[in-house]
Every structure is written in C-alpha cells, then in structure tokens.
Amino acid sequence: MATFKNQAALSYNGATTVSNTVTGEITGVLTAAKNSLADSYFANSRLTYIISLINSGDAALTDVTVTDDLGEFELGDASFTPLSYVEGSAACFVDGVLSAPPAVSAADGLIFSGLTVPANGNTLIVYEAEANGYAPLDAGSCITNTANVTGARIGSAVTASETVPAMSEAMLSIAKSLSPLSVNENGSLTYTFVIENTGSAPAEGDPGPVLSDTFDPVLTELTATLNGAALNEGEGYTYDEATGEFETMPGVLSIPAASYARGSDGSVTVTPGKAVLTVSGKLG
C-alpha cells in the first residue's frame, strides 16, 4: 500500500494562504499466495506448486508477469537454484476454468508472462519443479520459493513465498547378490544383502527394519553375519529348514542415516548409510 499527501494554495491580492494537508492511501487490488502440494522433498522428487492471484478490483489486470526464483539461495560468493522447472508442466486456471497455458521462460529463473486476472476474479498457475543436485538434503534444511508479481496496473510488486522442508525420514533400498553363481549339488553358497539408506534419519529401533526371504532351494547348516559380526539363530534371526523361510529379528537391523556434502561446484553428494547382511549355507 502507498500513501499520498496533497495541499492546496489560495492566492488573492498578492497574498497566499494554504489549506490543510490531506493524506490518502492507495490500496492494491491484487493479492498473491503460493502453496506446495508436497509437505516435504527429497533428492530428485517433484513438487507441485500453485500460485494464486486474486483481483478484488472492478477492472481486469492484464499483461501480468510472475517471476519465480525457484528457491535460489546464496552460499559464500555464489548463488544456487535448488529447483528445476519441469518443462511443459505449467497450467493456468481463470476463475476455475482451465485456460491456455501461460507463456513460460526458464532460461534465467522462471517467468510466467502475459497473464490476465479478471475483475473480482482469480487466476491460478500450477506447475511442477524437481529438487535438483543443489537442493539441501540435511535434516532441518528447506527450500523457500518466492514469486514476484508485476504488471502495468500493479503499483508495487506483490510477493508470495512457500517453504518446504527436506524429508526427515529413512529411505531404504536393498540389493541381493549370490556367490557363486554356479554351485554343485550339495555345495555351499552365500547370499549377500546390501541395505542402503539415502534419507536423513536412521532406520533403527524396535521393530525397525526386518529382512525376510524364502530360500529356494532350501539351505542347511545356515550361518549369518551382519556387518561382519556373527548372528545367532533365535537372537539375530529365525530360520525354518523345512520351508527355507528366513527373517531377521526385530531390532537387529540398524541402517545409519546418509551423509551429505556440498562440493566446490555447489552440488550435493549423498553417501548412503549402509548395512551388509550375509547368509551362507549348503544345498540339500
């Protein structure tokens, strides 16, 4: 909002007298809001944003431009943009009706141009952005995304921001390998399970992660290790030699959180937390 002041002067017979000063206020008719449909993000995740423009005036606002900073932040002497616009994802709704998509430029930031906000109406811009290699992933980090709205009939830029925190959860994956790949009848083999956590929180506790598998063919004389330490049957795992069903005991597996490091080029490198379970036995 802007204020203005005005004073009148009255001249007569070489004398001048002035009036009192009146003060007025110019109120903007455009308001803006920005929201994310996702309540958190993780590496390479997509976030859907909605920018809402509301015109409370009696005349349409035309040739409106929205400039989105895609979460740009400064670190040292450099600036980084943690979000990348998903090409072709933008949609525009005018008074709730799907309209032609806005003109989009993503060459230098993200710019939606040529928008119209109808009198006593609203315009919504919906688009997707992906958390790229510059997005901070540590627990407690976040991305604050700001949009600035300008136009010929908008007195001063209208700003709307949304902050989305990084996901603070474990994100697990598992890979299984066999050695040797070719084994003789009554021979021995080893299954190796590598469990990785790319999340910012450890996967632990009771019950915590539980790994189960049904070995076919069934193994006998089973032994198991976790990160090189022997596991005892009944304490570290259960196994049924009749069915080949194997399962770790609740609370046994613990996969630490990932660690994150920002390189000299600003990109974030993820080092997963890891646990390695090996199970060995004989065929038949």
Q: What is the pLDDT of residues 62-103, one digit of tens each?
A: 999 999 999 999 988 899 999 999 999 999 999 999 999 999
The overall average pLDDT reported for the chain is 94
Quick: pLDDT tens for 219-239: 999 999 999 999 999 999 999
Residue 279 to residue 192: CA distance in whole angstroms: 6
Radius of gyration of the chain (CA): 31
Cis peptide before 207 (omega within 30 of 0): yes
Residue 34: what pLDDT? Answer: 98
Q: Facing residues of 129 across strands?
A: 47, 85
**What percent of the chain clears pLDDT 70, i.e. is strictly above it?**
98
Average pLDDT value for residue range 136-142: 95
Residue with tokens 């890979």: 175
- Rounded to whole angstroms, the Cα distance separating 83 from 70 reads 5
The pairing of beta strand 237-240 with beta strand 245-248: antiparallel
Work out the number of other CB atoms within 10 angstroms of the CB of residue 135. Answer: 25
Angle formed at CA 112 by CA 73 and CA 109, multiple of 5 degrees = 25
**Ordered DSSP codes for 48-73:** EEEEEEEE-SSS-EEEEEEEE-TT-E
What are the residues facing 204 on neighbouring strands?
none
Count the neighbouring beta carbons within 10 Å of the beta carbon of residue 190: 16
What is residue 234's predicted lDDT score, i.e. its pLDDT? 96
CA-based nearest residue to 231, from 208, 256, 254: 254
Domains belonging to the chain, first-starting first, are 28-165 (2.60.40.740), 172-283 (2.60.40)
Task: Supply angle C-alpha 132, 70, 169, rounded to 5.
Answer: 50
Q: Is the pLDDT of residue 153 over 90?
A: no
Q: How far is CA 260 from the centre of its chain?
A: 16
Tell me the pTM: 0.83
* Neighbour count for residue 179 (Cβ, 10 Å): 12
